[in-house]
Amino acid sequence: MSDFLNRLRHAAGAGHIWENEPMNRHTTFRVGGPARYFVSPPGESELSAVLNLCRSEGMPFYILGNGSNLLIADRGFDGVMIEMGDGFSGIKKQGKEPGDDQTGEILIEAGSGALLSRIAREALSDSLTGFEFAAGIPGTMGGAVVMNAGAYGGEMRDVLVSVRVLEPSGEIHEIKASELELGYRKSCIPKREYVVLSAVIRLKRGDGALIREKMEDLAARRREKQPLEYPSAGSTFKRPEGYFAGKLIEDAGLRGYRNGGAQVSEKHCGFVINRDNATAQEILDLCRIVQDKVFASSGVCLETEIKMLGFEENQERK
């Protein structure tokens, strides 16, 4: 057993570490080779200890939520995959409890590992409105904050109040949403090397029946327009200013285009899907083909939304 593994077990606890964990079990693309080390810290102190160890030893690491915006190479990730699991999935209300103020706002704090769908369901159970847009996003609170996730006219910055982060120094700070430089699918969190621990959102009291109706309507629209029956990472490309990525891809003649088991969705051209046991390399290559053909057709450079890990540097591009 390596000295690093021993120290990793000491930092996180032996029962929270796995070696050579297949990452196709942890990504929505359902592809990807093994992570050399897979760690699910039970709490903040263990997370801090793991991060300190990785940084001191120069070991690559990645913070994993639901794996819904991630493509990992077939050869895997030669580093430490840190899952924000059960220890970071709590949801609790702050301020007034439901029923105390029928017109006021309620603050909800959710751990970075809490699924957006679960937060939306709990908001619905308390007749709180404002988070319906996130009910169908297959991600976690942490990833949603980092990416300023959004759908159907709503995004995180509409409801986000503050975020608790672990800084590289090991200090924990609460940062106001206004300080996070939230924009279209971006924030300052990656460049500052913050790790999101939890976030507070502000929701308003509403009509439970109307909230449910809106959530069901958005779910129906997703089923109708998105290829939910196939593994994917959701919308694969960012929306270029003044354009729609799916329309550009369709106009380039790529609807249904296949590369091995990977395919541009016939239902929504903005999605690259794992149609038939695709490899990660086939998915990556298809993304590059799409980018090249769209640029040749329209002169527009498409950027991918998904994070890519474990590929050769010359294969990784925006």
Catalytic member of 7, 185, 212, 255? 185
Instruction: Name residues whose C-beta falls within 8 Å of residue 317's C-beta, 6 or more positions apart in sequence.
Output: 288
The CA distance from 97 to 23, in Å, is 40
Let me know if 269 is exposed, middle or buried by CB neighbors in 10 A (0-12, 13-18, 19+): buried
Residue 185 annotated among the catalytic residues of the structure: yes
Let me know if 52 is exposed, middle or buried by CB neighbors in 10 A (0-12, 13-18, 19+): middle
Catalytic member of 112, 127, 235, 265? 235
The CA distance from 240 to 125, in Å, is 37
The DSSP output letter for 74 is T
Residue 305 annotated among the catalytic residues of the structure: yes
Residue 241 annotated among the catalytic residues of the structure: no
Let me know if 161 is exposed, middle or buried by CB neighbors in 10 A (0-12, 13-18, 19+): middle
The CA distance from 120 to 77, in Å, is 32
Q: Please identify every residue annotated as catalytic.
A: 185, 235, 305
